[in-house]
Amino acid sequence: MKKWMYLPGLFVLSIGLMLGGFTRVAGAEGLVVTNIQPIYVEKGEQNFLVTVKAHVTNNNTTDNVNIEVIAVDAEGFQLQTVKLTGQIETGKTKVLLERVKMAKQTFEQITKWELKP
Span 61-85, pLDDT tens digits: 899 999 999 999 999 999 999 999 9
Q: What is the pLDDT of residue 28?
A: 60
Measuring CA to CA, which residue among 88, 40, 39 is closest to residue 67? 88
Span 51-62, pLDDT tens digits: 999 999 999 989
**Domain parsing of the chain, residue ranges:** 22-115
Span 11-35, pLDDT tens digits: 333 333 333 343 334 446 789 999 9
CATH topology for 22-115 is: Immunoglobulin-like (2.60.40)
Q: b/e map of 31-61 (b: 16 or more CB within 10 Å)? A: bebbebbbeeeeeeeeebebebbbbbbbeee
> Is the pLDDT reported for residue 3 higher than 90?
no
Instruction: Let me know: does 8 contact 67? Beta carbons within 8 Å.
Output: no
Q: What is the pLDDT of residue 30?
A: 87
Question: What mean pLDDT comes out for the span 41-52?
Answer: 95
Q: Pick the residue with more confidence: 37 or 15?
A: 37
**What's at 51, amino acid-wise?**
T
